[in-house]
Amino acid sequence: MIWSLQAAADLTEKQFDQWSKLLEERAGICLSDQQRVFLQTQVSMRMRELGHTDYSQYYNRVVDGVSGMMEWSVLIDRLVVKETSFFRHKPSVESVRKHLQNRINNDTLDGAFEVWSVGCSSGEEPYSLSMVINDCFSLARRDPYYGVTATDISRAALTIARNGIYPQRKVEMLDPHVRQHYFTQLENGRYQIAPELKDRICFNHANVLNINEMPSAQLDVIFCQNLLIYFRRWLRHEIMNAFVERLKPGGILVVGLGEVVDWANPDVERVTKDEVQAYVRKAG
Ligand SMILES: C[S@@+](CC[C@H](N)C(=O)[O-])C[C@H]1O[C@@H](n2cnc3c(N)ncnc32)[C@H](O)[C@@H]1O
Protein backbone atom coordinates (compact mmCIF):
# COMPACT_ATOMS: atom_id res chain seq x y z
CA MET A 1 0.00 0.00 0.00
CA ILE A 2 1.35 3.45 -0.83
CA TRP A 3 1.86 5.87 2.02
CA SER A 4 -0.82 8.36 0.91
CA LEU A 5 -3.51 5.71 1.43
CA GLN A 6 -2.24 4.52 4.80
CA ALA A 7 -3.91 5.67 7.99
CA ALA A 8 -1.58 7.81 10.12
CA ALA A 9 0.08 6.04 13.02
CA ASP A 10 -1.17 7.11 16.45
CA LEU A 11 0.93 9.67 18.27
CA THR A 12 2.49 8.09 21.33
CA GLU A 13 2.14 9.83 24.70
CA LYS A 14 5.71 11.08 24.40
CA GLN A 15 5.21 12.38 20.86
CA PHE A 16 1.97 14.14 21.80
CA ASP A 17 3.79 15.83 24.70
CA GLN A 18 6.64 16.86 22.43
CA TRP A 19 4.39 18.40 19.78
CA SER A 20 2.01 20.08 22.19
CA LYS A 21 4.95 21.53 24.13
CA LEU A 22 6.34 23.01 20.92
CA LEU A 23 2.96 24.53 20.06
CA GLU A 24 2.66 26.07 23.49
CA GLU A 25 6.23 27.39 23.55
CA ARG A 26 5.98 28.95 20.13
CA ALA A 27 2.36 30.11 19.94
CA GLY A 28 1.04 29.99 23.50
CA ILE A 29 -1.66 27.53 22.47
CA CYS A 30 -2.32 24.93 25.10
CA LEU A 31 -3.92 21.73 23.83
CA SER A 32 -6.01 19.49 26.02
CA ASP A 33 -5.70 15.73 25.91
CA GLN A 34 -8.96 15.64 23.92
CA GLN A 35 -7.24 17.50 21.10
CA ARG A 36 -4.77 14.70 20.49
CA VAL A 37 -6.69 13.50 17.42
CA PHE A 38 -6.79 17.03 16.01
CA LEU A 39 -3.04 17.45 16.45
CA GLN A 40 -2.33 14.03 15.01
CA THR A 41 -4.54 14.65 11.97
CA GLN A 42 -3.02 18.02 11.15
CA VAL A 43 0.59 16.97 11.67
CA SER A 44 0.20 13.71 9.79
CA MET A 45 -1.50 15.43 6.85
CA ARG A 46 1.41 17.78 6.52
CA MET A 47 3.88 14.90 6.88
CA ARG A 48 2.07 13.07 4.12
CA GLU A 49 2.42 16.09 1.80
CA LEU A 50 6.18 16.05 2.43
CA GLY A 51 6.59 12.29 2.30
CA HIS A 52 7.51 11.87 5.98
CA THR A 53 6.34 8.75 7.78
CA ASP A 54 7.86 9.31 11.18
CA TYR A 55 6.63 11.94 13.66
CA SER A 56 10.02 12.31 15.35
CA GLN A 57 11.86 12.71 12.06
CA TYR A 58 9.39 15.43 11.02
CA TYR A 59 9.68 17.07 14.44
CA ASN A 60 13.46 17.30 14.00
CA ARG A 61 12.91 18.92 10.63
CA VAL A 62 10.54 21.52 12.11
CA VAL A 63 12.96 22.53 14.87
CA ASP A 64 15.99 22.65 12.59
CA GLY A 65 17.23 26.17 11.83
CA VAL A 66 15.88 28.53 9.21
CA SER A 67 14.31 25.86 7.00
CA GLY A 68 12.59 24.55 10.14
CA MET A 69 11.14 28.00 10.80
CA MET A 70 9.77 28.08 7.26
CA GLU A 71 8.17 24.70 7.73
CA TRP A 72 6.79 25.82 11.11
CA SER A 73 5.07 28.78 9.48
CA VAL A 74 3.22 26.34 7.20
CA LEU A 75 2.38 23.95 10.00
CA ILE A 76 1.17 26.56 12.47
CA ASP A 77 -1.47 27.62 9.98
CA ARG A 78 -2.91 24.09 10.23
CA LEU A 79 -2.81 24.05 14.03
CA VAL A 80 -4.65 27.26 14.81
CA VAL A 81 -8.40 27.74 14.91
CA LYS A 82 -9.16 30.50 12.41
CA GLU A 83 -12.93 30.60 12.77
CA THR A 84 -14.25 34.13 12.48
CA SER A 85 -17.05 36.19 10.98
CA PHE A 86 -18.07 39.78 10.35
CA PHE A 87 -19.49 41.36 13.53
CA ARG A 88 -18.83 38.06 15.29
CA HIS A 89 -19.65 39.43 18.72
CA LYS A 90 -21.81 42.39 17.80
CA PRO A 91 -21.99 44.00 21.27
CA SER A 92 -18.18 44.17 21.40
CA VAL A 93 -17.93 45.76 17.97
CA GLU A 94 -20.73 48.15 18.88
CA SER A 95 -18.85 49.13 22.04
CA VAL A 96 -16.14 50.54 19.77
CA ARG A 97 -18.76 52.54 17.86
CA LYS A 98 -20.09 53.93 21.13
CA HIS A 99 -16.61 54.77 22.38
CA LEU A 100 -15.70 56.65 19.20
CA GLN A 101 -19.05 58.45 19.07
CA ASN A 102 -18.45 59.72 22.61
CA ARG A 103 -14.95 60.82 21.74
CA ILE A 104 -16.21 62.69 18.67
CA ASN A 105 -19.13 64.26 20.56
CA ASN A 106 -16.91 65.33 23.46
CA ASP A 107 -14.16 66.45 21.13
CA THR A 108 -11.53 64.34 22.89
CA LEU A 109 -9.95 62.77 19.81
CA ASP A 110 -6.26 63.31 19.98
CA GLY A 111 -4.74 62.82 16.49
CA ALA A 112 -5.58 59.75 14.43
CA PHE A 113 -7.84 57.12 15.99
CA GLU A 114 -5.58 54.06 16.21
CA VAL A 115 -6.89 50.52 16.53
CA TRP A 116 -5.23 47.11 16.87
CA SER A 117 -7.05 43.89 16.05
CA VAL A 118 -4.99 41.10 17.65
CA GLY A 119 -5.45 37.63 16.16
CA CYS A 120 -7.38 39.04 13.20
CA SER A 121 -7.56 35.76 11.26
CA SER A 122 -8.88 36.28 7.69
CA GLY A 123 -9.81 39.92 8.31
CA GLU A 124 -13.51 39.93 9.14
CA GLU A 125 -12.85 41.43 12.58
CA PRO A 126 -10.70 44.43 11.54
CA TYR A 127 -13.00 45.08 8.57
CA SER A 128 -16.02 45.11 10.92
CA LEU A 129 -14.21 47.57 13.19
CA SER A 130 -13.36 49.75 10.20
CA MET A 131 -17.01 49.76 9.15
CA VAL A 132 -18.22 51.13 12.49
CA ILE A 133 -15.36 53.63 12.67
CA ASN A 134 -16.05 54.82 9.15
CA ASP A 135 -19.77 55.14 9.99
CA CYS A 136 -18.94 57.35 12.99
CA PHE A 137 -16.73 59.72 11.04
CA SER A 138 -19.28 59.94 8.18
CA LEU A 139 -22.13 60.64 10.60
CA ALA A 140 -20.10 63.42 12.20
CA ARG A 141 -19.24 64.71 8.70
CA ARG A 142 -15.58 64.46 9.51
CA ASP A 143 -12.75 63.11 7.42
CA PRO A 144 -12.06 59.53 8.42
CA TYR A 145 -8.85 59.94 10.38
CA TYR A 146 -8.00 56.48 11.62
CA GLY A 147 -5.78 53.46 11.10
CA VAL A 148 -6.20 49.80 11.98
CA THR A 149 -3.29 47.44 12.55
CA ALA A 150 -4.35 43.82 12.27
CA THR A 151 -1.99 41.01 13.23
CA ASP A 152 -2.03 37.24 13.18
CA ILE A 153 0.35 34.30 13.38
CA SER A 154 -1.18 32.58 10.32
CA ARG A 155 0.25 33.79 7.02
CA ALA A 156 -2.49 31.99 5.09
CA ALA A 157 -5.20 33.83 7.02
CA LEU A 158 -3.42 37.15 6.42
CA THR A 159 -3.34 36.50 2.67
CA ILE A 160 -7.13 36.15 2.64
CA ALA A 161 -7.45 39.24 4.83
CA ARG A 162 -5.27 41.37 2.55
CA ASN A 163 -7.21 40.17 -0.47
CA GLY A 164 -10.50 41.26 1.11
CA ILE A 165 -12.72 39.02 -1.04
CA TYR A 166 -15.24 36.80 0.71
CA PRO A 167 -17.76 34.15 -0.33
CA GLN A 168 -21.44 35.03 -0.30
CA ARG A 169 -22.16 32.94 2.83
CA LYS A 170 -19.86 35.22 4.84
CA VAL A 171 -21.65 38.36 3.74
CA GLU A 172 -25.31 37.39 3.38
CA MET A 173 -26.07 37.66 7.11
CA LEU A 174 -24.98 41.30 7.25
CA ASP A 175 -27.36 44.24 7.36
CA PRO A 176 -28.31 45.14 3.78
CA HIS A 177 -27.03 48.66 4.48
CA VAL A 178 -23.61 47.34 5.47
CA ARG A 179 -23.47 44.99 2.51
CA GLN A 180 -24.38 47.68 0.02
CA HIS A 181 -22.15 50.30 1.50
CA TYR A 182 -19.00 48.33 2.17
CA PHE A 183 -18.94 45.55 -0.43
CA THR A 184 -19.05 45.17 -4.18
CA GLN A 185 -20.44 41.95 -5.58
CA LEU A 186 -18.08 40.46 -8.14
CA GLU A 187 -19.10 38.56 -11.27
CA ASN A 188 -18.24 35.25 -9.61
CA GLY A 189 -20.72 35.99 -6.81
CA ARG A 190 -18.04 36.77 -4.24
CA TYR A 191 -17.90 40.06 -2.36
CA GLN A 192 -15.06 42.52 -2.31
CA ILE A 193 -14.42 44.89 0.57
CA ALA A 194 -14.60 48.60 -0.26
CA PRO A 195 -11.17 50.13 -0.92
CA GLU A 196 -11.92 52.91 1.58
CA LEU A 197 -11.79 50.28 4.35
CA LYS A 198 -8.96 48.22 2.89
CA ASP A 199 -6.71 51.24 2.62
CA ARG A 200 -7.07 51.90 6.34
CA ILE A 201 -5.86 48.50 7.50
CA CYS A 202 -2.30 47.33 7.74
CA PHE A 203 -2.14 43.52 8.04
CA ASN A 204 1.03 42.20 9.66
CA HIS A 205 2.38 38.83 10.61
CA ALA A 206 3.02 38.86 14.35
CA ASN A 207 3.01 36.45 17.25
CA VAL A 208 1.30 37.96 20.28
CA LEU A 209 3.84 36.14 22.49
CA ASN A 210 6.42 38.62 21.20
CA ILE A 211 4.33 41.59 22.28
CA ASN A 212 7.16 43.01 24.36
CA GLU A 213 9.30 43.26 21.23
CA MET A 214 6.60 45.21 19.40
CA PRO A 215 6.78 48.99 19.28
CA SER A 216 4.61 50.37 22.03
CA ALA A 217 2.47 52.59 19.80
CA GLN A 218 -0.23 54.26 21.81
CA LEU A 219 -3.60 52.96 20.77
CA ASP A 220 -7.20 54.08 21.15
CA VAL A 221 -8.62 50.56 20.87
CA ILE A 222 -7.10 47.13 21.36
CA PHE A 223 -9.52 44.44 20.27
CA CYS A 224 -8.60 40.84 21.08
CA GLN A 225 -11.26 38.17 20.89
CA ASN A 226 -11.19 34.38 20.75
CA LEU A 227 -7.41 34.21 21.06
CA LEU A 228 -6.48 34.44 24.74
CA ILE A 229 -8.90 31.58 25.39
CA TYR A 230 -6.25 29.17 24.03
CA PHE A 231 -3.60 30.37 26.48
CA ARG A 232 -2.86 29.51 30.08
CA ARG A 233 -4.25 31.88 32.68
CA TRP A 234 -0.87 33.40 33.69
CA LEU A 235 -0.07 34.09 30.04
CA ARG A 236 -3.45 35.76 29.45
CA HIS A 237 -2.72 38.03 32.39
CA GLU A 238 0.77 38.88 31.15
CA ILE A 239 -0.53 39.77 27.69
CA MET A 240 -3.38 41.83 29.16
CA ASN A 241 -0.83 43.87 31.14
CA ALA A 242 1.22 44.42 27.99
CA PHE A 243 -1.94 45.54 26.18
CA VAL A 244 -2.62 48.12 28.90
CA GLU A 245 0.84 49.63 28.39
CA ARG A 246 -0.03 50.19 24.75
CA LEU A 247 -3.30 52.01 25.39
CA LYS A 248 -3.62 55.78 25.30
CA PRO A 249 -5.24 57.32 28.37
CA GLY A 250 -8.97 57.06 27.65
CA GLY A 251 -8.34 54.18 25.20
CA ILE A 252 -10.24 50.89 25.49
CA LEU A 253 -9.24 47.25 25.58
CA VAL A 254 -11.98 44.87 24.42
CA VAL A 255 -11.54 41.13 24.99
CA GLY A 256 -13.86 38.18 24.51
CA LEU A 257 -16.46 37.93 27.23
CA GLY A 258 -15.19 35.58 29.95
CA GLU A 259 -11.85 34.99 28.24
CA VAL A 260 -9.92 36.64 31.05
CA VAL A 261 -10.95 36.18 34.65
CA ASP A 262 -9.33 37.15 37.96
CA TRP A 263 -7.36 39.91 36.30
CA ALA A 264 -7.00 43.50 37.35
CA ASN A 265 -4.59 46.26 36.50
CA PRO A 266 -4.41 49.55 38.42
CA ASP A 267 -4.20 51.56 35.17
CA VAL A 268 -7.56 50.45 33.80
CA GLU A 269 -11.12 50.09 34.95
CA ARG A 270 -13.79 47.80 33.64
CA VAL A 271 -16.42 49.49 31.55
CA THR A 272 -19.52 48.22 33.27
CA LYS A 273 -21.62 46.25 30.86
CA ASP A 274 -22.61 42.62 31.21
CA GLU A 275 -22.36 41.58 27.62
CA VAL A 276 -18.99 43.16 26.81
CA GLN A 277 -15.65 42.76 28.55
CA ALA A 278 -13.95 46.10 28.04
CA TYR A 279 -11.53 48.20 30.07
CA VAL A 280 -10.72 51.88 29.78
CA ARG A 281 -7.28 53.28 30.54
CA LYS A 282 -7.36 55.86 33.27
CA ALA A 283 -6.14 59.35 32.51
CA GLY A 284 -2.54 60.29 33.32
C1 LIG B 1 -10.44 31.83 16.56
S2 LIG B 1 -9.53 33.01 15.63
C3 LIG B 1 -10.28 34.51 16.19
C4 LIG B 1 -10.39 35.52 15.08
C5 LIG B 1 -11.08 36.83 15.49
N6 LIG B 1 -10.32 37.51 16.53
C7 LIG B 1 -12.46 36.56 15.98
O8 LIG B 1 -12.75 36.67 17.18
O9 LIG B 1 -13.33 36.24 15.16
C10 LIG B 1 -7.96 33.02 16.51
C11 LIG B 1 -6.85 33.64 15.68
O12 LIG B 1 -5.72 33.84 16.52
C13 LIG B 1 -4.55 33.52 15.79
N14 LIG B 1 -3.47 33.16 16.73
C15 LIG B 1 -3.32 32.03 17.46
N16 LIG B 1 -2.20 32.08 18.20
C17 LIG B 1 -1.64 33.29 17.93
C18 LIG B 1 -0.46 33.93 18.39
N19 LIG B 1 0.36 33.36 19.28
N20 LIG B 1 -0.18 35.17 17.92
C21 LIG B 1 -1.00 35.77 17.03
N22 LIG B 1 -2.12 35.21 16.54
C23 LIG B 1 -2.44 33.98 17.00
C24 LIG B 1 -4.97 32.38 14.89
O25 LIG B 1 -4.11 32.25 13.77
C26 LIG B 1 -6.40 32.77 14.53
O27 LIG B 1 -6.44 33.46 13.32
Q: What is the pLDDT of residue 1?
A: 42
Domain definitions of the chain by residue range:
2-80, 90-281
Contact 181, 134 (CB under 8 A): no
Name the residue of 120, 227, 230, 254 to mutate for ligand 1: max ligand atoms within 8 A of Cβ: 227
CA of 207, closest atom in ligand 1: 20
pTM of the model: 0.95
Statement: residue 72 has pLDDT above 60: yes
Kind and range of the H or E element at 244? helix 233-245
DSSP assignments along 1-46, one per residue: --GGGSPPPPPPHHHHHHHHHHHHHHH-----GGGHHHHHHHHHHH
Query: Regarding predicted confidence, which is higher, 232 or 284?
Result: 232
Question: Does the Cβ of 93 fall within 6 Å of ligand 1?
Answer: no
Q: Is 101 exposed, middle or buried (0-12, 13-18, 19+ CB in 10 A)?
A: middle
Dist CA 205 CA 228 (whole Å): 17
Tens of pLDDT, residue by residue over 236-271, are: 999 999 999 999 999 999 999 999 999 999 999 999
Supply the mean pLDDT for the chain: 94
pLDDT for 3 equals: 47
The domain 2-80 having CATH identifier 3.40.50.1370: the answer here is no
Q: Which CATH number fits domain 90-281: 3.50.50.60, 3.40.50.150, 3.30.70.1230, 1.10.1200.10?
A: 3.40.50.150
Q: Taking residues 63-88, report their average pLDDT.
A: 96
* C-beta 239 within 6 A of ligand 1: no
Atom of ligand 1 minimally distant from the CA of 157: 27
